[in-house]
Amino acid sequence: MISLSREYPSVFGQPVIRAVDPAIFGYRYFTHCMSCGFCKDQCCSYGVDIDVENVARIEALGPDFEAHVGVPRSKWFTRQRWTDPEFPGGAQARTRVKGGACVFLDRKQRGCKIHSYCLANGIDYHTLKPLVSILFPLTFEGGALVASGELEDKSLVCVDQGPCVYDGLREELAYYFGDAFVAELDSLRASRAA
């Protein structure tokens, strides 16, 4: 683990990244998810962790969103909430699984129905799509930016195909943690290559 020069809070205040696992510069994955013809949306099989503030934003959407999802809003999220200081609002829930995949998976056209709703309605997807989902296969743990377990154990069907996970998610990391954050990570990556 490499300690960073300072703390980098996300645009939501949490999580705060203080260190990075250099493995994120080496692991590779198929970055262009919607162009994939072989994974069958495997990474959407289990649902996703979501902060409680985001749950509230999604649940506040109108009946047009519920119609878009095609599942009653009472079946979108687990009832259980977990205290987690790394998540915005200090707690998290999970999206439910229906028929072997996240309730928000578009089984006809592929991809996330939250994401497609945002695009169709001119909404920045960062405000509604779960942070953990957007950053996958990176995640945060104990103040560190790390590779998801699916990269480490190679259970992610698209592992070792495409660019390194950092390159694939660099723009998303800049959105959440700022340009100074990615500049520091760019510098760390360059020093490791030298």
Q: What is the pLDDT of residue 8?
A: 98
* Residue range 49-85, pLDDT digits in tens: 999 999 999 999 999 999 999 999 999 999 899 999 9
Cα separation, 147 vs 20, in Å, equals 9
Cα separation, 177 vs 171, in Å, equals 10
Q: What is the pLDDT of residue 164?
A: 81
Q: What is the pLDDT of residue 147?
A: 85
What pTM does this model have? 0.87
**Token digits for 16?**
């705060």
Q: What is the pLDDT of residue 33?
A: 53
Q: Which residues pair with 29 in a beta bridge?
A: 159
Q: What is the pLDDT of residue 43?
A: 55
Can you list the residues of the chain whose pLDDT is less than 70?
29-45, 149, 151, 153-162, 193-194
Q: What is the pLDDT of residue 28?
A: 72
Q: What is the pLDDT of residue 36?
A: 47
